[in-house]
Chain A
Amino acid sequence: MNIKILGPGCRNCVNLTKAATTAVRQLGLDATIEKVEDYAAIAGYGVMSTPALVINDKVVVSGRVPTLAEVRTLLSSAAV
């Protein structure tokens, strides 16, 4: 599984990265987490509000920091 965190690196992006890392560990998933900070690349995903969470190249959350529980749900439904 490929997970991307889109955002210029503000506090929200850090929080989202933390949530994603924890969720991956808790679920025992085999996943890579990649940070995307380039503005053109972020726009390439159609994202205008950061941070955004991208799972397997699909934007699932944008413009807010989801809770750990929500990230877990999103990851496990993408893993099936």
Chain B
Amino acid sequence: MSIAERIPTTAKGRVGVLGAGVGLWALAYWVNEWLWDAVLFTGFGLDPTSRITETIHFFLYDSLKILLLLVIIIFASTVLRSFMSVERTRAFLGGKREGVGNILAAGLGVITPFCSCSAVPAFIGFVAAGVPIGVTMSFLIASPLVNEIAIGLLLTLFGWQITALYVVSGLTIAIGAGWILGRLHVERWVEPFVFDVRLGGQVIDPSLGLTFGQRMQMGVEEVKTLLAKIWIYLLVGIGLGALIHGWAPTDFFATYAGADNPFGVLIAVLIGVPLYSNAAGVMPLVVALFDKGLPMGTLLAFMMAVVALSLPEMILLRRVLRPQLLAIFIATTGLGIIAVGYLFNAILA
């Protein structure tokens, strides 16, 4: 029996189920604080002051903590975003001019549920509805760049100021890069077949007509599929974070990649672009490196480079975009991320 059928249909029952879920979650989060002390120090009798024990403790504690945070972030954002859809976004964007259109597209890119495997059908749909290419690109850049998992984790780990800086700068990059692409008249580098496609049939809006149970089900399914997909990045990220936390000399990174190194951001972005990971996998590294004195601008630029530009999405988009356009897309987004990194290092210094 699916979750949708098991969830009570009365308002009272629904509140009960959600309340019980939140309660269980809070209990697990609270237990995590002392569970590993009990297991490692009391249970196995390990020395709490030894560096190896400390690294293991950090790894176990962080793994459970980030896992719990991810469950609630993915679930909540999936349920909330089930009220939005690419179809609805397209209806909003249809007939909008460039400029206003870019701003709107970037904002909608953040809140619209969107999987990169839908990038090509969405691109075709937008173009067929007369949405300008630059505006469409603003949507496609913002969607992975301003990532809901990154927002949730930054909010809990670094507070709202850093989160706001991340969101605003991500949106600015998406708006700016899309606008520049529009000015360059990149239509000539879109595969011609795109302009011949006519949207047929009756467009179905996936956000409509869902029951409460179905939206809950979507949240649970998304938690399962996403965790199954990213757990390895997560473990590698937390493992590296634990090693850096326990073993890297305090000033090691600050000396070589600190705010006074003019190439710090550039190097971080160059490392980040080819790295194919996930915001959840990168965040434990960001926390560990921040503790070791790396500036926030460099770290945000690194994270953005990892999530915004990924090889699999480029390969998909190659079906509709010529290499010239892909190159300009990567260059403008990459330069935007580098600029944001330097700007933040200057502001936050």
- The stretch from B12-20, B32-40, B202-210, B325-333 touching chain A is B202-210
Closest to B316 in A: A8
- Chain B residues near A68: list those with CB within 8 A: 2
Question: Are B2 and A59 interface neighbours, CB within 8 A?
Answer: no
Closest to A62 in B: B204
CA of A41 to CA of B153, assembled, Å? 39
Interface digits, B302-323 against A, CB 8 Å rule (1 contact, 0 not)? 0000000000000010011000
Question: Are A59 and B202 interface neighbours, CB within 8 A?
Answer: yes
Question: Are A7 and B117 interface neighbours, CB within 8 A?
Answer: yes
Question: Are B121 and A44 interface neighbours, CB within 8 A?
Answer: no
A48-B122 in contact given A7-B117, A43-B199, A64-B206 (Cβ < 8 Å): yes
A39-B200 in contact given A48-B125, A63-B86, A67-B4 (Cβ < 8 Å): no
Within the complex, what minimum Cβ distance (angstroms) separates A64 from chain B? 6
- Chain A residues near B202: list those with CB within 8 A: 46, 59
Within the complex, what minimum Cβ distance (angstroms) separates A43 from chain B? 5
- Asked if B53 lies at the interface with its beta carbon under 8 angstroms from chain A, I say no
Closest to A48 in B: B125
Interface digits, A8-46 against B, CB 8 Å rule (1 contact, 0 not)? 101111000000000000000000000000011011111
- Chain B residues near A46: list those with CB within 8 A: 199-204
Question: Are A63 and B85 interface neighbours, CB within 8 A?
Answer: yes
Place the interface of chain B in its size category.
35 or more
Within the complex, what minimum Cβ distance (angstroms) separates B294 from chain A? 35
- Chain B residues near A11: list those with CB within 8 A: 117, 225, 229
- Chain B residues near A42: list those with CB within 8 A: 121
Question: Are B198 and A48 interface neighbours, CB within 8 A?
Answer: no
Q: Which residues from 102 to 152 on chain B have a C-beta closer than 8 Å to any C-beta of chain A?
A: 113, 115, 117-118, 120-122, 124-125, 128
- Asked if A49 lies at the interface with its beta carbon under 8 angstroms from chain B, I say yes
26 residue pairs A–B, Cβ–Cβ below 8 Å: A8-B117, A8-B121, A10-B117, A11-B117, A12-B115, A39-B124, A39-B197, A42-B121, A43-B125, A43-B200, A45-B200, A45-B201, A46-B200, A46-B201, A47-B204, A48-B121, A48-B125, A50-B117, A59-B201, A62-B204, A63-B85, A63-B118, A63-B206, A67-B4, A69-B5, A70-B2
- Enumerate chain B interface residues (CB-CB to A < 8 A): 1-2, 4-5, 85-87, 90, 113, 115, 117-118, 120-122, 124-125, 128, 193, 196-204, 206, 214, 217-218, 221, 225, 229, 316, 319-320
Besides A13-B117, A43-B121, A69-B5, 18 other A-B contacts (C-beta < 8 A): A12-B117, A39-B320, A40-B124, A40-B197, A43-B125, A43-B128, A44-B201, A46-B201, A47-B121, A47-B201, A47-B203, A49-B86, A50-B118, A62-B206, A63-B118, A67-B2, A68-B2, A69-B1
